[in-house]
Amino acid sequence: MGVTRLNQLHHDAFVFDGHNDLALRLLAGEDPSGRLQGGHLDLPRMREGGFDGGIFAVWSDPDADRPLHDVLDGVARLRVFLEETPGMRLVLTADDLEAAAAASGSGDVAALIGVEGAYGVEEPSDVDRLYDAGARCLTLTWMAHTPWADASGLPPAHGGLTDVGRRILARAEKLGMVADISHSSDATARDVLRAAQRPVIASHSDVRAVADHHRNLSDDLLEELAARGGVLGVNFFSAYLDESFSRGYEAIRERLEREGADDAFQPRSELGRAVAAELKPVPFSRLLEHFRRAIAVAGPEHVGLGSDFDGVLATPEGLDDVRDLPKITAGLAEHGLTDEELRSVLGGNFRRVLSSVLS
C-alpha cells in the first residue's frame, strides 16, 4: 500500500482522539485557534494532521479548595471557545457527533468536553451540574482517590468503587455521559465495567503486557472492556510505553521534587527540559507494539487513539505533534490492518461508543 494512498485514507477517515489536554493551554491564556509555539495541538496543526475531533479534557486539581467550582468554570470557558471559534464544533449529542463525522475532511474539528478527575463530585446531583455545563465524558479519577473511587498507583482507600460511586456512575449513564476508567485502579475499573449499563472507555491508557505500569490495562481488563463494547485509547506518553523510560522519568521527577523544582507535566517545564536532555526517546515502534497487543487482545473494533497531547512531556521518536498522526496509520497498515480496521482504530470505534452513550 503506497504512502500516498495511506495518507489519503488517513485524511478521508474520521480521526477522533480519546483524550487531549489542550484546555490547559487555553485556560492559561493561549489561543489555540492560531498556531502556537511548542506543544502538540492547535487548530492549524490539527487540520494538517487530519485530526477531526476528540475528547478535550478539563483537568480537575484534587488539591484545589473548590475543585468542582474550578472545573465548572473551566468547562464554561472551554465551551465558549468551542462555540465562538470558527472551525471548532462543540459535541453535545449523538447527532452532533454524527454531523461532525459526516463533515470529516472539511477542516472543522469536533470537540466533546471531558472532565479529568471527578474531584468535588460528592453525589449524583453534582454530575448534573457538569452535564448542564457541557461535559459529556467523566474520567472518574486522576492521580488521587476520590471519596468514592480508587485511583491507580496508590494504596487502596475503598477497594474499588463505593456504593456512592455506583450511584454517580448510574447518574452519568442516565444523563448520557460516557464513563472513563483511565487513571482508575484495577479494582475500580472492574467494578465500573461490571456495574455499567453502557459501554465504557479507557480514554488514554496503554497495555500492561507491553509495559508494566499501573496506568496501563492488563489483558483481562482489556478483554472485559471489549466484552462490554468499550474502547481503549492508546496513550502516546513515553513513560507508559516503555519501562526503562518510565524508570528514568521517575528518577528525574523525584530528584527535581527534592530540589523544589517545577515538575509540571509540560515539555517547557523544568521536568520536561530535564527529561528531554537526559533520556533517550522511545522508538516509534514501541507505540505500535501497544497498538498491536491491544488489537490482538481486544480486537480492532475496541482500540483507538488516546494521545494525551498537551498533557505529556515526552512522545515517541518521530511523533512530535498532531501533524505526525498519519505515521500511525502507515505503521498499522504495515502490520496488516485492513482499510476498514484502520478507519475503526483512527476514530470509528470512539464514534460508535460515544454515539451509543450520548443522548
How far apart, in whole angstroms, are the C-alpha atoms of residue 180 and residue 185? 12
Give the pLDDT confidence score for residue 335 in this predicted structure: 94
> The CATH number of the domain where 180 resides is what?
3.20.20.140
Q: What is the pLDDT of residue 343?
A: 98
Residue span of the structural domain in which 306 resides:
3-242+282-357
User: Is residue 248 one of the residues assigned to a domain?
Assistant: no
The whole-model pTM stands at 0.96
Number of domains in the chain: 1
What's the pLDDT at 223? 98
Tens-binned pLDDT, residue by residue, of the chain (359 aa): 567 899 999 999 999 999 999 999 999 999 999 999 999 999 999 999 999 999 999 999 999 999 999 999 999 999 999 999 999 999 999 999 999 999 998 999 999 999 999 999 999 999 999 999 999 999 999 999 999 999 999 999 999 999 999 999 999 999 999 999 999 999 999 999 999 999 999 999 999 999 999 999 999 999 999 999 999 999 999 999 999 999 999 999 999 988 987 666 665 688 989 999 999 999 999 999 999 999 999 999 999 999 999 999 999 999 999 999 999 999 999 999 999 999 999 999 999 999 999 97
B/e letters for 346-359, b = 16+ CB within 10 Å, e = fewer, are: bbbbbbbbbeebbe
Domain presence at residue 8: yes
Is 274 contained in some domain?
no
pLDDT of residue 268: 66
Q: Give the tens place of pLDDT for each residue, 154-211.
A: 999 999 999 999 999 999 999 999 999 999 999 999 999 999 999 999 999 999 999 9
Residue 261 lies in a domain: no
CA distance 256 to 95: 47
Tell whether 276 is covered by a domain. Answer: no
pLDDT at residue number 269: 82
As given in the structure block, the three cell numbers for residue 28 are 492559561
State the DSSP code for 322.
G
The answer to the question of residue 293 being in a domain is: yes
CA-nearest of 184, 182, 186 to 233 is: 182
Count of CB atoms situated within 10 Å of the CB of 195 = 17
Whether 266 is in a domain gets the answer no
Contacting residues for 181 by C-beta, under 8 A, at least 6 apart:
140, 188, 189, 192, 193, 200, 201, 202, 205, 225
272-309: per-residue pLDDT in tens?
899 999 999 999 999 999 999 999 999 999 999 999 99
Give the three-class secondary structure for 311: coil
**Would you list the DSSP string of 265-297?**
SSTTSHHHHHHHHHSPPPPHHHHHHHHHHHHHH
Within-domain flag for 271: no
Which one, of 209, 278, 219, lies nearest residue 245 by Cα? Answer: 278
Beta bridge partners of 90: 111
57 in the Ramachandran plot: left (φ > 0), alpha (ψ -120 to 50) or beta? beta
Residue 237, pLDDT score: 98
Alpha helix stretches (DSSP H) within the chain: 3-12, 22-27, 43-48, 67-84, 94-102, 124-133, 163-175, 186-195, 219-227, 238-241, 243-258, 270-278, 284-298, 325-334, 339-343, 349-357
